Amino acid sequence: MFRARTNSILLIFSAWLLWAFFSLPLAATAPSEREPAYRDNLYDAEVRSSHAWIVGYYGTLLHSGDRGLTWELQRSGTQEALFRLAFIDEKQGWISGSYGTILHTRDGGKSWKAQSTPTQEHLFGLHFADERLGWAVGSRGAILITEDGGASWKDYSLGEDVILNDVWFKDARQGWIVGEFGRIYHSQDGGHTWRKQQSPVEVSFVSGESRNLFRLLFPDSQGGWVFGLDGVILRTGNGESWELHHPDGAGPLPALRHHLFSAALFDGKKWAVGERGTVLVAAAGQDQWQAAKLKIPPLSLNGIAFGSDGLGLIVGNRGLILRTENGGGEWRPIRIAPEAAGKGVSQAP
């Protein structure tokens, strides 16, 4: 991932890394010498029924078994940054992270086992269709596929020096990847081969521009959204052609300039979060995006997730956690008190 580019800092690193990963030192120190894990940057969240997980910098892994009211630090067994979560139920899930890290649990996170991968690239995107079939993508065009739950991962990398940030499959064969330079890739054979789709924001390396795309969101099998740098929002109605979308539906170009890092669905509503505390929401069946007015610090929001009954989480830099029990109608901050580090959390009044 670290490559000698001189045209732009944002072409050297994914903006995700710029605001999240690299805002903390890469050099590892002993746990006793570091600030508590709850002060670290958090990158992703997952909600399954009453259970929830959060991952972040330096192997941070938090778990709640009571709908996010109290939390515990689970042992990830690694000091690598952990970027993405993918659970298929309350028991079985995977985590992807830096330097080819993939972790797997069968017991809801009580124990995690590192899986062997054929790469040392950072793995930013992770998606599982079921307990056997999964995909991971990352830096330098890395694409990994497993058909046995991660017992073995095979390398189907692009062979291009491009950062891939997210991957999503609608079934066992058809999927999409988004990443650096505004690129969108499509596969119709389970990820073994990829075709670059026409993107309205794609730029060449030599242009010196940054058009990173970070997250895919498909409310249904065909209609989808992509979120990226400078508030870029793309929309497709058929999975083939993409167009720029204005957040308020008024024009072809987005007015919002804050980077959008993550997105999620609940009850038909679409949510997107990003830089400087940005939270956008679009009502079910609507394409107009509105800013949710939350009283939170202007920190980078890196992940958002909902369960099936309205429990939701937003996570971000400096240990920021927001929780909702009503599908986003109200968000409240959660904090881990210093005296309870590693034991539990309290919800801010």
pLDDT tens digits for range 222-250: 689 999 998 999 999 999 999 998 665 54
Residue 335 binned pLDDT confidence (cut-offs 50, 70, 90) = confident
For residue 19, the model assigns a pLDDT of 40
In a 3-state reduction of DSSP, which class is residue 36? coil
CA-CA distance, 199 to 207, in Å (whole number)? 16
Residue 49 Cα distances to 68, 76, 299, 329, angstroms: 11, 22, 28, 18
Nearest to 138 by CA among 119, 117, 121: 121
CA atoms within 13 A on the CB side of 273: 29
The predicted structure's pLDDT at residue 249: 52
Mean pLDDT of 210-218: 92
**How far is residue 238 from each of residues 168, 187, 224, 249, 250, measured CA to CA in Å?**
15, 14, 8, 19, 22
- Per residue in 22-60, pLDDT (tens digit) is 344 333 333 333 333 467 899 999 999 999 999 999 999
Parallel, antiparallel, or unpaired for β 143-146 and 134-138? antiparallel
Strand 279-282 with 269-274, pairing: antiparallel
* Helix H or strand E encompassing 178: strand 175-179
> What is the number of H-type helices and E-type strands within the chain?
2, 29
Phi, psi (degrees; rounded to nearest 5) at 151: -60, -30
What domains lie within the chain, and their CATH numbers?
A: 9-347 (2.130.10.10)
> Within its chain, how far is the Cα of 95 from the centroid?
11
